[in-house]
Amino acid sequence: MRLMASFFRAYPLPTFLMLVALLLSGFAEGVGLSALLPLLNIALGSDQGSALAGAEGGVQNEFERVVLDILGSLGIDITLGNMLLIIVGGVLLKSVFLLLAQRQVGYTAAQVGTDLRLEMLRAVLRSEWEYFLHQPIGRLTNSLATEAQRASQSFVHGATAITYLIQACIYGAVAVALSWRATLVGLLAGVVVIGLSHSLVLVTRKAGKRQTRLLSSLMSNLTDTLQSVKPLKAMALEHLADKVLVRETTQINKSLRRQVLSAAVLDSAQELMFAIFIALGIYVALEIYAMDLPTVMVLVVALGRAFSFLGKVQKQYQKLVQGESAFWAMREAIAAAGRAEEKLEGGIAPVFNERLAFNNVDFSYGEHTVLSNLSLSVEAGRFTTLVGPSGSGKTTIVDLAVGLVRPDRGAVTLDGRPLQDLDVRAWRRMIGYVPQDTILLHDTILRNITLGDPALTAAEAEEALRAAGAWDFVSRLPQGLETVVGERGGKLSGGQRQRVVIARALVNRPQLLILDEATSALDPESESAVRQALESLSGRLSILAISHNRGMVEAADRVYLLEEGDARLVEDAGRVELVK
């Protein structure tokens, strides 16, 4: 029960309240059950206080005498009506306490799922960039949705197993009070049944681990496939993606079938074996020990219910092990992301008054050299453009500039201080970043710009849109800033989406604006409008643009040409040739 111990350590107070409610529920059930033997004696016309014959008679009579003495001390008459009221009252109290326990279990399970999702998300977002690059988005999605849900359900199954275990102990205690010998034989029989059934639990555990692995792979492939539907359909190749998804889905189905079969066999086999042992016990009690019928009836009820609850404990445990692999997979992923956490705070407060400089920087991805002895600078208040062929290291320069990666050799400095000595989080708050791929939320234009930041107003969003050359088209929309842009911004044109993303980067009034091919999707008219807006911003903020567009080269104060991992400053005469 390592999984439940982990939950109990994480949620001690809710667990304590749950256990108290379960114990009170079991106690109430035991009180109701204790009135059953006097009730049967009344119904059968027996003398409640008489001694019963046989080797077991003294023990049986002692249990009944204790019950009668307690009832007498409470001033309760031994009548049929009173015994029925005690039984009904015990059931009522049991139901109330069980309801409280189940409510606590439900609340805690919901909290387990929520906490796992948030912990996973925060750990991944705080991880280093290179670690994040190696995490399939589909796997993260599967963890946040499927695995967190399966883990929280495992807590529910574990808590339910504890509930049944407490109830089994209550019925077992009553059975011991009636006849410890018969109870011992019954417990041995129960151990045999549980032992014979344990192999089916192991089958379920193995199937659960396989499901966790397959679901993670399926979600990763599904996410990649859905992002590529358009080109696949355009080339009539969607059947290839279908084959991959069908294969993995079929494997998951086989695993589910094994799980369902083992659960069904466990259910039917346990019921049969328990019925055989109970029937055998009745025969032995009546024929060999010559026990009186009321005692045997109560003993059968107590042992039968104890067996039933023990069987339910194992069934709930089977369901718990089915989903526990999801919990441990999430814990492992969270721990791995935690080990790769970025160290951002604690450095010197960044100041950008002079320049962001790259001094003899080397950088490689594994064996692939991207930058070699690179030196360039982005002057404060100036417009700098980087141009060069694909693979020349332009985007890597941006990653180095914002501190996502660190150089293998050389240094990236801000006003003469190495970035690793600075408070990197504070430095990133001074940056507005516009990527090449425009990703918008399925929400309003206003929320896409502010990202829900309550400190930003509609007026500030409008100011950012004007600076990005986007206010003209936004103001003409029927709902203006409240216009919903659709999935990934599908209701807007490519150029409109790009300008909204530029406005998002400007709304926090950054000191450095980075544009990574940000104007590549714009038509000439839109590109010209954005260029004019950026030129008007030059001097008020620093701009670093990666672009192949002529306008970005013409607008720049300084242009660097990247070739073979190094950068060359392009003089005015060379810039004319470069534009051509």
Q: How far are the Cα atoms of 20, 95, 165, 168 from residue 24, in angstroms, in the given order?
A: 6, 10, 14, 14
pLDDT(503) > 70: yes
- What pLDDT, on a 0 to 100 scale, did the predictor assign at position 254? 74
Q: Tell me the pTM.
A: 0.69
The arithmetic mean of pLDDT across residues 23-31, rounded, is 80
Identify the H or E element spanning 544: strand 542-546
Question: At residue 292, what are phi and psi to the nearest 5 degrees?
Answer: -70, 155
Q: What percent of the chain has pLDDT over 70?
A: 79
Other beta carbons less than 10 A from residue 435's beta carbon: 16
Q: For the segment 320-337, what is each residue's pLDDT rounded down to a tens digit? A: 888 888 888 888 888 888
Q: Measure the CA angle with vertex 210, ends 209 and 213; round to 5°.
A: 90
Confidence check: pLDDT of 48 > 50: no
Full set of structural domains in the chain with CATH: 2-339 (1.20.1560.10), 355-579 (3.40.50.300)
On the CB side of 214, CA atoms within 13 Å amount to 19
pLDDT at position 52 = 35
Element (H, E) at 426: helix 424-428
Task: Examine the pLDDT at 409 and tell me if it is beyond 70.
Answer: yes
Residue 175 binned pLDDT confidence (cut-offs 50, 70, 90): confident
**Dist. CA 178–CA 449, nearest whole Å:** 74
Per-residue confidence (pLDDT) for residue 131, from 0 to 100: 80
pLDDT tens column, 273-322 = 767 777 776 777 677 777 777 777 777 777 777 877 887 888 888 888 88
Examine the pLDDT at 179 and tell me if it is beyond 80: no
Beta pairing class for 558-563 and 409-414: unpaired
- How far is the CA of 218 from the CAs of 119, 141, 215, 248, 250, in angstroms? 23, 11, 5, 6, 11
> Quick one: average pLDDT of 345-365?
86
Interatomic CA distance for residues 55 and 562, integer angstroms: 100
Write out pLDDT tens, residues 60-109.
446 666 777 777 777 777 777 777 788 788 788 888 888 888 888 888 88
What mean pLDDT do residues 239-257 have?
68
User: Any bridge partners for residue 361, and if so which?
Assistant: 374
pLDDT greater at residue 137 or residue 270: 137
Position 464 scores a pLDDT of 84
Q: What is the pLDDT of residues 381-403, one digit of tens each?
A: 888 888 887 777 888 888 888 88
Which pLDDT belongs to residue 441?
Answer: 80
